[in-house]
Amino acid sequence: MKTLLFTAVLAIIALSSCNKGETLSGAGATFPAPFYNVVFKDFSNASGIRVSYGGIGSGGGIRSLQDKTVDFGATDVFLSEKEQAEMGAEVLHIPTAIGGIVLSYNLPGVEGLRLTNELISDIYRGVITNWNEPKLQEINPGISLPDRKITPVFRSDGSGTTAVFTEYLTKVNSDWANNIGEGKSINFPAGIAAKGNPGVAGIIVGTEGAIGYIGSEFALALNMATAMLQNSSGNFVAANVESISLSANIDIPADTRVVITNSSDPNAYPISTFTWILVYREQAYNNRSEVRAQNLKGLLQHVISPAGQEIAAKTFYAPLPAVAVERTRALINSMTFEGKTVN
């Protein structure tokens, strides 16, 4: 009995001390998690530095960074001035990839459905309730839409996906702006709700007549039917890696805190967002070593490198356009340790 206990204690000590190698940890949005899991592993294989990422939601990630329990946070919605002030020190927003938000639907036999922002707003406000509504049919002259009730599906949990989706509708549709507004969790007047992209996707796949907004990486990976949306130039654009990447083809400010929905590029998909990693500019806090800061910088450089961006495309996120990569590189190079640039 005693020897058994002794071996157990030894085993626990051995297990908990075997990961003595260098590590980095981060937490935040679930949206980029599939990309981060792959690209961080790629980085670990090359450098030997273990990186762990917890997809706990951007709110939790920001809180963890603020509590200094992680090396970086991650979010799909950039910090407001007020939130930045609450962080205690200057925080850098490092864009890592672009994601779109697509409207996926379940109508057997219907392909290439077209939607305008007005139609999306009407469907989610419960104004249009049937697929054979003349307004819908008018935009889709080549398709015969069935007489079936529309079931809009939305997120039951607070989500950056909801925030970007409603930000877009608030910006382009006055009915939406006046009645619903924008935010991470919204009380939609019509439809049903489910948790996370998988929950929403599950309901769409299982319910004829359903339509829901989900992250493009999820819909594209599963090959779900997605609607073509009308962008700011009036073109109907299908959601794919290229059209989503084009939405960042705009003037990007030096701090990269910019909304890229309703992009002015004529071929861009209209509902897209950067996804950011958040780090403190001054890396010397909480007794962190300079090596740790260097490792973090190495990780960020790897994520925006051509190899890292290729992984983004492989995991169905849109890679950053050249201008954005340039801005991001400058931001990463502005990281300091005790006032001196991290090398």
Partner 1 sequence: MKDKIFKTILLLASCLIILLTAGIVYGLVSKSIGAFSEFGFFGFINSSEWDAQKDLYGALPFITGTVLTSTLALIFCIPFSLSVALFNGEYFRNKKISTIVSAVVDLLAGIPSIVYGLWGFYTLRPIMINMGVNDQGFGVLLASIILAIMIIPYASSLSAEFIGMVPNDLKEAAYSLGATQLEVVTAVNLPVARSGIFASYVLAFGRALGETMAVTMLIGNTINIPAGLSDTGNTMASIIANQFGESSGLKLSSLMAIGLLLFLITAIINFVAKYIMKMMNK
Interface ranges with partner 1 (CB under 8 A) = 56-60, 63, 149, 151, 156-159, 181-188, 191-195, 199, 202-203, 206-207, 209-210
* 186 vs 342, beta carbon nearer partner 1: 186
By beta-carbon proximity to partner 1, the closer residue of 196 and 308 is 196
DSSP readout, 30-92? STTHHHHHHHHHHHHHHH--EEEEEE--HHHHHHHHHTT-SSEEEESSPPPHHHHHHTSS-EE
Q: How far is the CB of 27 from partner 1 (least distance, A)?
A: 11
- Cβ proximity to partner 1: between 23 and 207 the closer is 207
Answer whether 165's CB lies under 8 Å from 121's CB: no
Residue 279 β-bridge partners: 92
CB of 93 to partner 1, least distance (A): 19
Alpha carbon distance 157, 29 (integer Å): 12
| Closer CB to partner 1, 203 or 219, in the complex | 203
Contact 169, 228 (CB under 8 A): no
- Residue closer to partner 1, measured from CB, 138 or 147: 147
Please identify, using beta-carbon distances, which residue of 225 and 332 lies nearer to partner 1: 225
CB of 273 to partner 1, least distance (A): 16
Task: Give the shortest CB-245-to-partner 1 separation in angstroms.
Answer: 27
Residue 101 φ/ψ, nearest 5 degrees: -115, 120
- Contact (Cβ atoms closer than 8 angstroms) between residue 330 and residue 337: no
CB of 198 to partner 1, least distance (A): 11
Q: Are 170 and 181 in contact (CB under 8 A)?
A: yes
Closest approach of Cβ 341 to partner 1, in Å?
Answer: 34
Q: Position of tokens 């973090």? A: 296
Q: Amino acid identity of 268?
A: A
- Between residues 150 and 342, which has the closer beta carbon with respect to partner 1? 150
Q: In this structure, are residues 192 and 203 in contact, taking their beta carbons and an 8 Å threshold?
A: yes
**Minimum distance of partner 1 from residue 153's CB (angstroms):** 9
Neighbour-count burial of 2, counting CB atoms closer than 10 A to its CB (0-12 exposed, 13-18 middle, 19+ buried): exposed
How far from the centroid of its chain's Cα atoms is residue 271's Cα?
A: 12
The answer to whether 62 and 277 are in contact (CB under 8 A) is no
- Is 98:110 a contact under the CB 8 Å cutoff? no
Q: How far is the CB of 318 from partner 1 (least distance, A)?
A: 24
Output 139 or 193, the one with its CB closest to partner 1. 193
Nearest to 274 by CA among 328, 341, 225: 328
Smaller CB distance to partner 1: residue 77 or 304?
Answer: 77
Least spacing, CB of residue 283 vs partner 1, in Å: 25
